[in-house]
Amino acid sequence: MARVIVLAGPSGAGKSRLARRLGLPLLRLDDFYRNGSDPALPRIAAGPNAGLVDWDHPDSWLAEEALAAVLGVCREGRAQVPLYDLAHDGRCGWRQLDLGGADLFVAEGIFAQHIVEPCRDAGVLAAAYCVTQRPLVTFGRRLVRDLRERRKPPLVLVRRGLALMRAQPRVVADAASAGCTPVTPDQGFDAVQRLRDL
């Protein structure tokens, strides 16, 4: 049975970059967002973005489906997983994630901390980390990425980014309370390399 390394942390903190650097099979948990037309999506209640979908709320994410995919990959070594287009708020296809015999893989996303406990209970958790950097660095990297990928209108991205920057300490604390060890990207890389050497 394969085991999963969970990478949680604020949007823009470097989770995806770290996952690519590790070179392990990757399950992108952000591909399990709800479609933009889903009436169950939470909305921002107040502030300059009031009325818009709150994509940073865990209810915007299909936690049970994501967990089922993780457990399926651990048990079977493969699974069909969705592809999500953030710019269009919806799924755009499917792909086959195949571990090719690997005994470790990475699952990363902004809600990844929510699968830590059930993965530990299922005996498939290798490690869990919360990737974090200084809030201003995270804000800048997130904004550059989101503008490049045209995820949302620029003003929305700036306002959302400022709100996320203020919320970053709470996000990291929540992930830590869920069982994730806070690390910088370099610390996370070194920790996983030590894990692989065991």
Domain limits of the chain? 3-192
- Token pair of 21, please? 């650097």
Query: Which residue from 2, 6, 11, 1 is spatially nearest to 22, judged by alpha carbons?
Result: 6
Q: How many Å apart are CA 53 and CA 33, to the nearest integer?
A: 12
Return d(Cα 161, Cα 136) in angstroms, integer.
10
Q: Where are the beta strands (DSSP E) in the chain?
A: 3-8, 26-28, 78-85, 90-98, 104-108, 125-131, 181-183
Q: Locate 54 and state its tokens.
A: 């709150």
| pLDDT exceeds 90 at position 160 | no
In this prediction, residue 21 has a pLDDT band, given cuts at 50, 70 and 90, of very high
- The most confident of 52-66, 70-84, 154-168, by mean pLDDT: 70-84
Instruction: Assign 157 to helix, strand or coil.
Output: helix
Q: For 63-168, list the strands marked E by DSSP.
A: 78-85, 90-98, 104-108, 125-131
Distance, in Å, from the CA atom of 148 to the CA atom of 61, rounded to the nearest integer, reads: 23
CATH superfamily of 3-192: P-loop containing nucleotide triphosphate hydrolases (3.40.50.300)
Place of tokens 């929305």: 156
Q: What is the structure's pLDDT at 156?
A: 83
Token output for 130: 């919360």
Give pTM, 2 decimals: 0.88
pLDDT in tens, 132-146: 998 888 888 888 888
**Cβ-proximal residues to 168 (8 Å cutoff; 6+ apart), any chain:** 10, 132, 135, 138
SS3 content of the chain, % helix, strand, coil (to 5): 45, 25, 30
Could you give phi then psi for residue 191, rounded to 5 degrees?
-65, -45
